[in-house]
Amino acid sequence: MEFANEGLNQSLLLQKPPSSPPESSATGHQTSNHLEKILTDPLLPKFKRFQLATLIELKLLFHLAAPAVLVYMINYLMSMSTQIFSGHLGNLELAAASLGNNGIQVLSYGVMLGMGSAVETLSGQAYGAGKYEMLGIYLQRATIILMAAGIPLTFIYIYSKPILIFLGQSPTIASAAAVFVYGLIPQIFVYAVNFPIQKFLQAQSIVVPSALISTGTLVLHLFFSWLVIYKVQLGLFGGSLLLSLSGCVMVVAQFIYIVKSETCKYTWTGFRIEAFSGLTEFLKLSISSAVMLCLETWYFQILVLIAGLLENPQLALDSLSICTTINGWVFMISVGFNAAASVRVSNELGAGNPRSAAFSVIIVTLLSFTIAVIIAVVILLLRHVISYAFTDGEVVANAVSELCPLLAITLILNGIQPVLTGVAVGCGWQTFVAYVNVGCYYVIGLPLGLLLGFKFKFGAKGLWSGMIGGTAMQTIILLWVTYRTDWNKEVEKTMQRLDEWKVKQEPVEKD
């Protein structure tokens, strides 16, 4: 990757934030500026420059990525644990929970997380530029838009049974999945608040409180899931409803932290009427963000739905659901690095530090890739026994073992692709990535999977192989585009974007 040219507009580097940041924020800005000075110091030998810069970047990434990884893994583990508890009720319940999670619930997850990434782009760049007050307004705008988006999604949940049957699913599995989905309806609106809050905090490098809240909620969730599903015997509906309630607990706790904490006093200044202005422009960026992510999450969703059309659909769904659940849990590590990459890149662009942004991309990608390779090796070593955590069936265990090599390849690709998507969010490239996703996933990956799965009779392995082909193509394109990025121009675009939003949407300054 080419670093930015030496001819950076010095006025960008000399910008000062309009208001005093919290102490932790000031420290972060100082560290970031120190990194830029090291990377642009011609007196330092190249190796020494790289060594010092790497140590600084790893420190910044560890502070961001480690708690972010923990938050996403715990959040996913809550959903995963509900699926595990359901799976031990029987193979039908496992297939139903999988279809409910991966066939219906992931729809709202993709829409809400995607729309929430608009907050990630704008807040990260505004924070880097020192426009702290705008973060709270962005948070409120996103919540308003996501709450409105949750209303039509509710009807999909309500009519999930006929939808699944229309898509060719077994009526027995579709009926059980619909029961599970009904309990997830409140979770739609939990997402509508939770994702903007997470992005708001991440933009400020505040991730430890969310990690602690998530950990405490997980402990309660595991205990009450066991109680509700097995002792009270509320089954699938009880487990999914409890999952929604656990999300509510996390949202309330995080919002209390934002309101009460001194750390957020410059970025959260209370509910503002300005949050209701400029919603159209905010909606446009939110839709671009949602399309980008939905095209990706729906790709996995379609894989599960198509598996229900194969011969012996229950076995195909069970084996694929276990592998996709493991992939999803490990994927949360990459999502944590995705968040770290987005925050680092958007903060550095907002602060006018092009070399730091480029260097951060290199380090976070290498780090995520290395971890993904290690985990893939572990999965291969445990491929014969890993399914027993979900179900006791030996037939399912054998099917999962056969899919594990493909799972390992997917994990390695996921060590790179989500990080590059985070870079795209940090830069505001959502629309471009949406086009890339259409071509790679739906023009290449999906048709290839259908051809291998049905025409050549490879079944679930064929479907997954096609998925890998699309993901690999997308990863190559994003690697090339990121490599060719002119980071000086990205800084200029960021400043223009912030000025446009300021003119259109910031509140009138007080005398």
* DSSP-derived secondary structure for 259-270: HH-GGGTTT---
Q: Pick the residue with more confidence: 501 or 175?
A: 175
297: closest CA among 117, 81, 458?
A: 117
129: closest CA among 269, 15, 266?
A: 15
Query: Could you give the CA distance from residue 387 to residue 401 in angstroms, rounded to a whole number?
Result: 8
Out of 28-37, 181-190, 367-376, least confident range? 28-37
275: closest CA among 374, 132, 125, 133?
A: 133
The pLDDT, as a whole number, for residue 387 is 81
The pLDDT, as a whole number, for residue 18 is 42
Nearby residues of 194 by Cβ (< 8 Å), 6 or more positions away? 247, 250, 251, 254
Structural element, H or E, at residue 443: none
Query: 336 is written with which tokens?
Result: 């944590």
Residue with tokens 């509900």: 82
Query: Could you give the CA distance from residue 97 to residue 236 in angstroms, rounded to a whole number?
Result: 7
153: closest CA among 188, 182, 195, 118?
A: 188
pLDDT band at 307 (very low <50, low <70, confident <90, very high): confident
Query: Could you give the CA distance from residue 429 to residue 422 in angstroms, rounded to a whole number?
Result: 10
* Class of residue 511 by CB neighbours under 10 A (exposed 0-12, middle 13-18, buried 19+): exposed
Query: Could you give the CA distance from residue 5 to residue 27 in angstroms, rounded to a whole number?
Result: 26
Q: Using an 8 Å Cβ cutoff, are 35 and 53 in contact?
A: yes
Angle at 422 between CA 363 and CA 347, to 5 degrees: 75
Q: Which residue type does 89 have?
A: L
A 10 A CB-CB count for 364 gives: 27
Tell me phi and psi for residue 183, to 5 degrees. Answer: -75, -15
Mean pLDDT of the chain: 79
Angle at 413 between CA 407 and CA 414, to 5 degrees: 85
* Class of residue 156 by CB neighbours under 10 A (exposed 0-12, middle 13-18, buried 19+): middle
pLDDT band at 32 (very low <50, low <70, confident <90, very high): low
Tell me phi and psi for residue 129, to 5 degrees. Answer: -85, -5
Query: Could you give the CA distance from residue 495 to residue 500 in angstroms, rounded to a whole number?
Result: 9
Out of 70-79, 138-147, 205-214, least confident range? 70-79
pLDDT band at 356 (very low <50, low <70, confident <90, very high): confident
Total count of residues recorded for the chain: 511
Out of 113-117, 191-195, 484-488, least confident range? 113-117
The pLDDT, as a whole number, for residue 506 is 44
Q: Pick the residue with more confidence: 493 or 19?
A: 493
b/e string for 434-468 if b means 16 or more Cβ within 10 A? bebbeebbeebbbebbbebbbeeebbbbbbbbbbb
Q: Using an 8 Å Cβ cutoff, are 418 and 338 in contact?
A: yes
- Tens-place pLDDT, residues 419-439: 888 888 778 787 788 788 888
End-to-end CA distance of the chain: 46
Query: Could you give the CA distance from residue 87 to residue 102 in angstroms, rounded to a whole number?
Result: 14
The pLDDT, as a whole number, for residue 27 is 47
Query: Could you give the CA distance from residue 315 to residue 91 in angstroms, rounded to a whole number?
Result: 9
In this prediction, residues 432-456 reach a mean pLDDT of 87
Structural element, H or E, at residue 310: none
**Is the pLDDT assigned to residue 463 strictly greater than 50?**
yes
Query: Could you give the CA distance from residue 342 to residue 198 in angstroms, rounded to a whole number?
Result: 13
In this prediction, residues 106-115 reach a mean pLDDT of 78
**Sequence-ordered alpha helix ranges (H) in 183-312:** 185-203, 208-226, 235-260, 279-307
Query: Could you give the CA distance from residue 320 to residue 306 in angstroms, rounded to a whole number?
Result: 11
Secondary structure E strands in 25-129: none
